[in-house]
Amino acid sequence: MKRILITGANGQLGTSLKKITPQYEQFNYTYLDVTDLDLTNTTLVQQYFENTAFDYVINCAAYTAVDQAEKQPDLAFSVNAAIPSLLGEICLKSSMRLLHLSTDYVYSGMNAVPHLEEEDPVALSVYAQSKLKGEMALWNNRQAMVIRTSWLYSEFGNNFLRSMLRLSKERDELGVVYDQTGTPTYAGHLAATLLNIIVHSEIHEFNPGIYNFSNEGVCSWYDFAVEIMQLARRNCTVKPIRTSEYPLPAKRPAYSVMDKTKIKNTFGLNILHWKQGLVAALKSLENNDEI
């Protein structure tokens, strides 16, 4: 039975993976979070892998506080750059296969055309720079895939969906930016995609490289918020505002829609629309009496 290690297991993607792994019972899973192993400690990590072998590593460990990263660049780089670099070296040496998660923030967002994997990256913030450096360490690694995703949310952890639901209970009106365009990605659908990629790799071959993945469709943060309010039946008005009206420390790409042709063709994926992901997330929250 092939063994899969999932790092960052208590984050929203790691938790989403734990939720669906029973559907992929052909694999054996190990879950690690920072309380189990500090992945920034090179010595401890090397000792861990000397004593434990896996076939695949899904690296969900990440520093995702985009604005806080402007004040904590060393921490952002130690997690987002040093960890994938170290895991990449270990996987290459031990013939393990690595699936590493990255971000749409490595794209400039300057042109309103879906971004392709081969574009020259333009990192606009410390967070984006740290994620890009982590990617670069894996670009020529024959044992590694980099999966870029966007606007990740779920029923778990802190994210846009849960923030909107919480704020809609506290306020009658919310201002949300309408001049940033992208695609919300439900972590449950990304989790299934990662495991389906492993299934495909076992049947066919492992295809290293960079891949874009998000749900289908395009919207602004404003559109996303409006849909949340409607589906959750909240009496909260969403007001469209410009990014300049809601200044934040870290600069965001204005347009981060990604072309997903490569990942669909390589792995035979059928990708669902972002609204289907939102329905699934809200249903899960409702089943857990969190709405």
- Rounded to the nearest integer, the mean pLDDT of the chain is 96
How many beta carbons lie within 10 A of that of residue 68, not counting itself? 15
Round to whole Å and give the CA distance between 45 and 24: 27
Residue range 177-208, pLDDT digits in tens: 999 999 999 999 999 999 999 999 999 999 99
Residue range 217-227, pLDDT digits in tens: 999 999 999 99
Round to whole Å and give the CA distance between 164 and 231: 12
Two tokens at 216?
């289908």
Residue range 27-44, pLDDT digits in tens: 999 999 999 999 999 999
Helix, strand, or coil (residue 156): coil
Round to whole Å and give the CA distance between 66 and 44: 27
pTM of the model: 0.97
143: nearest Cα among 187, 77, 89? 89
Helix, strand, or coil (residue 206): coil
Round to whole Å and give the CA distance between 4 and 29: 5
How many Å separate Cα 198 from the centre of its chain? 17
pLDDT at res. 288: 77
Is 31 catalytic? The answer is no
All domains of the chain in start order, with CATH: 2-158+185-215+258-271 (3.40.50.720)
278: nearest Cα among 147, 151, 102? 151
Which of 127, 153, 186, 255 is catalytic? The answer is 127
